[in-house]
Amino acid sequence: MKKSAYLPLLLAVAAFAAHAQVTYERILEAAHEPQNWLTYSGRYSGWRHSTLHQIDASNVSRLTMQWAFQVSDLGQFETTPLVVDGVLYGTGQNNRAFALDARTGRTVWRYQRNLPDKLQPCCGRVNRGFAILGDRLFMATLDAHLIALDTRTGNLLWDVTAADYRQAYTFTVAPLVVKNTVIVGVSGGEYGVRGFIDAYDAATGRRLWRFNTVPGPGEPGHETWAGDTWKVGGTPAWITGTYDPDLNLLYWPTGNPSPSNYGGERSGDNLYSNSMLALDPDTGKLKWHYQFTPHDLYDYDATQIPVLLDATWDGRPRKLLVQANRNGFLYLLDRVDGTFLSAKPFGNVTWATAIDAKGKPVLNTDLKPGPDGTRVCPAAGGLTNWYSPSYSPATQLLYVATSNECDVFSSSPQPYRAGHDFLGSIYVPEPDQRPSGALKAIDVLSGQEKWSFPFFTNPNGGALSTAGGLVFAGDSDGNFIALDATTGRDLWHVQLGAAIYSAAITFALDGKQYVVIPAGSGLFAFALPAPIASHDE
């Protein structure tokens, strides 16, 4: 190959080696760097919204593929890549990782974690992405480690053990960097782990604090667990939280108690399962909590992205936290102190008839699971799930991928065995039901649905909104779709040949806006075609 053929890659690597470091201040101001994607949700507020607008409703139908990258592994590809100054960083199945020239998709480096043979991740050998600070990338691993990689080479800088993977502790979360701290939440609630959220020093890997999501003896909330059930109480924290720098509060959602669908032995509310936690990121101290589904019997993890926004509520300005919850209700909380403000169903909900004025669910007591099976809506997978929503300040709408499905829950006691699944239930769809879904646009203050775009099957991918008046989404049939953010009209779509398990990101380079989406085992980049040069003299 001629030397000139290497020139684009050599130039990319040279620029890469000299790129500016990602400071905490840059992440704070990420909304003002729309050409990059610096943190999991694009910005600390969890909006997954970009102010880029080169691609808009008038030209999105002209999008063409610019490049594709194969991660070289099977399974669900759930990464949200980061883009920094022309370099894209992503993670893949089985803790693969890579850096690419974001213009061309050409590989700068690859990394592969050497994992133990016997791992027990609940729901796939997945990873949802990196966090970045300085010249270091941080990845949480399937064997319950946190590692730091050099951004320039992919070389391992440090590796710390958070928990024992042989006890079914694992990490699938994309970390969150706050100041000089890397924050992660554990997975493994289906195996009776004791959940936690950890913070580590970005420079050394030293653990700074741990918040146990299942309180032990002497800790507030311990009384909500009967006997010794707290020891195997689950309550994982496997989705990335959000952060308010003005309040210096970290908002992190938690998952189901264990066993997930049998509550006979773990009587009580089972704090802090299915909750929103507001933590001091410097100390890990709990400032407030709100529990969405006390004493969960339906696997209704609250591990959905909390979205932070400021708006007028009841005639006065409020700092709000919005969450479209797996249990089927859209919640509004005051994020200063956790005050419950509102909850409205955004689909078919039968497990509760309402959320009362104090924020407690009014249970449908006829639907308690038992040995004979009980039909409950939404299904165990939820009305929505972990996949990211998006909030557009232009439309003031929250875009949420939803599933239209109910399950028949059967429940019975199950003994705990370390390292084995701990569910206490079987749940299956109704045999005559065809699950389907939709991307819904919801007014965050009223809870009113503004439009709904139907999916043929249940979705597993999230949403991205842009200042171009667009919402990008993907479905389980492999369709990558651009919708009008105001009306939900289908403006463009392409078939990628495999299910989409993540949400798109967008960035800009050399005056060109790109949109990137994982599908199957590939990462696909789209942009508008270059103008045809004129040859007129």
CB-neighbour burial class of residue 457 (10 A; exposed 0-12, middle 13-18, buried 19+): middle
Q: What is the average pLDDT across 324-352?
A: 98
Is residue 11 predicted with pLDDT exceeding 80? no
CB-neighbour burial class of residue 387 (10 A; exposed 0-12, middle 13-18, buried 19+): buried
The pLDDT assigned to 124 comes to 86
The pLDDT assigned to 242 comes to 98
Is 359 within 8 Å of 327 (Cβ atoms)?
Answer: no
Of the candidates 515, 533, 399, 521, which has an alpha carbon nearest to the alpha carbon of residue 63? 515
Q: What is the average pLDDT across 94-113?
A: 98
d(CA 253, CA 303): 5
Q: Give residue 533's pLDDT band: very low, low, confident or very high (50, 70, 90).
A: low
The pLDDT assigned to 432 comes to 83
Q: What is the average pLDDT across 189-193?
A: 92
Q: What is the average pLDDT across 506-512?
A: 97
The top-scoring range by mean pLDDT among 9-18, 54-63, 413-422 is 54-63
Q: Which H/E stretch holds residue 390?
A: strand 390-392
Q: Which residue has the tokens 């165990």?
A: 380
The pLDDT assigned to 275 comes to 98
Overall residue count recorded for the chain in this entry: 537
Is 481 within 8 Å of 492 (Cβ atoms)?
Answer: yes
Give whole-number Cα distances, 474 to 109, 240, 502, 523, in Å. 28, 20, 8, 13
Query: 56 an active-site residue?
Result: no
Is residue 537 predicted with pLDDT exceeding 50? no
Q: Give residue 4's pLDDT band: very low, low, confident or very high (50, 70, 90).
A: very low
CB neighbours of residue 446 within 10 Å = 12
- Cβ neighbours of residue 230 closer than 8 Å, sequence gap 6 or more: 194, 214, 215, 216, 222
Is residue 144 predicted with pLDDT exceeding 60? yes
The pLDDT assigned to 98 comes to 98
The pLDDT assigned to 107 comes to 98
The pLDDT assigned to 153 comes to 97
Convert the pLDDT of each residue in 223-280 to its tens digit: 999 999 999 999 999 999 999 999 999 999 999 999 988 898 999 999 999 999 999 9
The angle subtended at Cα 409 by Cα 405 and Cα 411, nearest 5°, is 160
φ, ψ at 426 (rounded to 5°):
-130, 135
Q: Give residue 19's pLDDT band: very low, low, confident or very high (50, 70, 90).
A: low
Is residue 5 predicted with pLDDT exceeding 50? no
The pLDDT assigned to 20 comes to 60
d(CA 91, CA 112): 10
Q: What is the mean pLDDT of the chain?
A: 94
Is residue 425 predicted with pLDDT exceeding 90? no
Is 400 within 8 Å of 388 (Cβ atoms)?
Answer: no
Q: Is the dihedral of CA 349, 237, 466, 392 positive or negative?
A: positive
Q: Calculate what percentage of the chain has a pLDDT beyond 90.
A: 85
Dihedral in degrees, nearest 10, Cα atoms 409, 415, 420, 424? 10
Is residue 473 predicted with pLDDT exceeding 50? yes
CB neighbours of residue 245 within 10 Å = 14
Of the candidates 29, 34, 76, which has an alpha carbon nearest to the alpha carbon of residue 515? 34
Residue 82's SS3 state is strand
The pLDDT assigned to 6 comes to 44
Is residue 525 predicted with pLDDT exceeding 80? yes
d(CA 187, CA 26): 29
Question: Which entry of 296, 299, 301, 407 is annotated as an active-site residue?
Answer: 299
The pLDDT assigned to 530 comes to 86
Convert the pLDDT of each residue in 61-71 to its tens digit: 999 999 999 99
Give whole-number Cα distances, 457 to 472, 474, 493, in Å. 17, 11, 16
Is residue 3 predicted with pLDDT exceeding 50? no
Give whole-number Cα distances, 420 to 167, 178, 188, 300, 416, in Å. 8, 34, 10, 20, 8
